[in-house]
Chain A
Amino acid sequence: MSSTTPAVEMKDIVIRFPGVLANDHVNLTLRQGEIHALLGENGAGKSTLMNALAGLYKPVSGTTKVNGELVDFNSPKDAIAKGIGMVHQHFKLVPTHTVTENILLGMDEPRFLMNLKKYDEKILELEEQYGLYVDPAAKIWQLPVGAQQRVEILKTLYRGAEILIMDEPTAVLAPQEIDDLMVTMRSMTDQGKSIIFISHKLHEVIAVADRVTVLRKGIVTAHGKSLEGLTKRNLAQLMVGRDVVFSVEKEEREAGDVVLEMKDVYAKNNKGLPALQGISLRVHSGEILGIAGVGGNGQSELAETITGLRECEGLIEINGEEISNQPPIEAIARGVSHIPEDRTTVGSAPSLSITDNMIMKNYNQEPIGNGWSINFARAGEHAQKLKEKYNILAPNVRTPAGKLSGGNLQKLILAREISSYPRLMVAMQPTRGLDVGAIEAIQSLLLEQRQSGTAILLISEELDELLSLSDRIAVISDGKIVGAVLAEDADINEIGLMMTGGTDD
Chain B
Amino acid sequence: MNRAVLIAARLLQIVPTFLAIGLVVFVLARLLPGDPVSAMLGDRATDEAVTRLHQQMGLDRPLWAQFLLFVGSVLHGDFGTSIALRVPVTAIIAERLPATLMLTALATLLAVGIAVPLAFVAATQAGRWPDYLIRAVFQVGLSSPIFYVGLLLLTVFAAGLRWFPVGGYGDGLAAHLYHLLLPALTLALSFSAVIMRNLRAAILEVLQAEFVDFARSKGLSRRVVLFRHVLRNALLSTVTLVGLQVGALLGGAVITESVFAVPGVGRLMVESIFARDYPVIQALTLVLAVIVSLAFLATDLVQMWLDPRVAR
The answer on A and B forming one complex is no
**Interface, chain A (partner B; CB < 8 A):** none
**Interface, chain B (partner A; CB < 8 A):** none
